[in-house]
Structure 1
């Protein structure tokens, strides 16, 4: 007697996200900026040097540069014989992304006000006891404003 076995059924499984090479290159340059290895105003190496360093094609490198440009971490110099210029992370860019995220998550002005009530008093107390003249001056200016 032969036994019938059902065929093996492969259920769809979530495949892990494997980053594209451009994402990895952008992540490495982003990390170097964050660590201060590439300071504000520094010039990145030429495209040919970067493609050789990362062992990627020009289109892959250009995609990575577009990612960093969209994050306002570099300023490309088209037609220049120099590489892109590094820009320090900006509080304005962080605020814009945070604003989009809060809107997406449905945060209200009441939520923001409640968060301020939780965070600001201890932060002001820390500054007031820090014996930092510049910080105290800025705290007073912010309070007056």
Structure 2
């Protein structure tokens, strides 16, 4: 044996991390849901069958189902006829996640307005290109409710959110719809808009909405983008004058 062979270091291996069986099962079911193999509302096999089919323990199967339930990919229904049912994530899942991030990270109100200023003009431009007659009807209905609110400021604010969300829906981009839903709700919940929305601001808002809707109806994407940009940027500046908080103070969900 040569001296080189006698002094060579012994082979070494890195520490291996073996995934838990419940994580492996949850990953397989997750992939089959997200790929579309399991459609919305599909009933997964009962626990006993899952145990038999996978060779895993009942505790492991239950843990995997709990993981998927927390991720909102399955809904566990108790009682006769119950079980685990597939729930494919939609834009409401995105909106809920964004709201949690905004609240959990204590996102600055300025940053929230900046995000809205970046995406809502794009929503308006897409709406001008893609809107349907149903979309235009939704915009008109929200605008009519906003006009009809009169001195009822809470009703005005609800109609205002409905109109902005209708613009996003008309654009047909699911990601933008979810983001705008969360942003609109968060701004509404965290800003003293009732103090801000006096009669003059309400009249100006109604006129601006009408002009943006006009551009969307005409299919003028650039005009829709430009008018929406002026609208949301002006709102952010005006709201900042009456609310100088730097961070959001959002209430509990459902509060």
- Runs of 5+ in structure 1 lacking a partner? 1-12
Change (3 A) 1:124 1:137: farther
Tell me the C-alpha RMSD between the 2 structures.
2.9
What TM-score, normalized by structure 2, do the two folds share?
0.43
Tell me whether 84-93 or 134-143 shows the greater mean CA deviation: 134-143
Tell me whether 22-31 or 76-85 shows the greater mean CA deviation: 76-85
Distance 1:24 1:135 in 2: 43
Q: Which protein is bigger by CA-based radius of gyration? A: 2
Tell me whether 57-66 or 70-79 shows the greater mean CA deviation: 70-79
Instruction: Work out whether residues 72 and 87 of structure 2, in 8 Å CA contact, stay in contact via their aligned partners in 1.
Output: yes
User: What is aligned with 1:71?
Assistant: 71
- Runs of 5+ in structure 2 lacking a partner? 1-13, 143-162, 165-208, 210-255
User: What is aligned with 1:101?
Assistant: 101
Instruction: Work out whether residues 73 and 88 of structure 2, in 8 Å CA contact, stay in contact via their aligned partners in 1.
Output: yes
Distance 1:55 1:91 in 2: 36
Distance 2:22 2:115 in 1: 37
User: What is aligned with 1:29?
Assistant: 29
The CA deviation at 1:81 is 6.4
Change (3 A) 1:71 1:139: farther
Q: Which has the higher helix share?
A: 2
Tell me whether 97-106 or 68-77 shows the greater mean CA deviation: 97-106
Change (3 A) 1:50 1:136: farther
Change (3 A) 1:28 1:136: farther
The 5 Å alignment of 1:8-27 reads 18-27=18-27
Distance 2:138 2:31 in 1: 30
Equivalenced residue count is: 132
* SS of residue paired to 2:130: coil
User: What is aligned with 1:8?
Assistant: none
Change (3 A) 1:19 1:80: farther
> Which digits, 9 at most, give the CA deviation of each residue in 1:89-125, with x for residues without a partner?
2544433332332344442121111011111112221
Distance 1:96 1:17 in 2: 32
Instruction: Work out whether residues 33 and 88 of structure 1, in 8 Å CA contact, stay in contact via their aligned partners in 2.
Output: yes
User: Is 1:118 equivalent to 2:118 in the alignment?
Assistant: yes
User: What is aligned with 1:59?
Assistant: 59
Distance 1:118 1:55 in 2: 51
* SS of residue paired to 1:89: coil
Instruction: Work out whether residues 76 and 82 of structure 2, in 8 Å CA contact, stay in contact via their aligned partners in 1.
Output: no
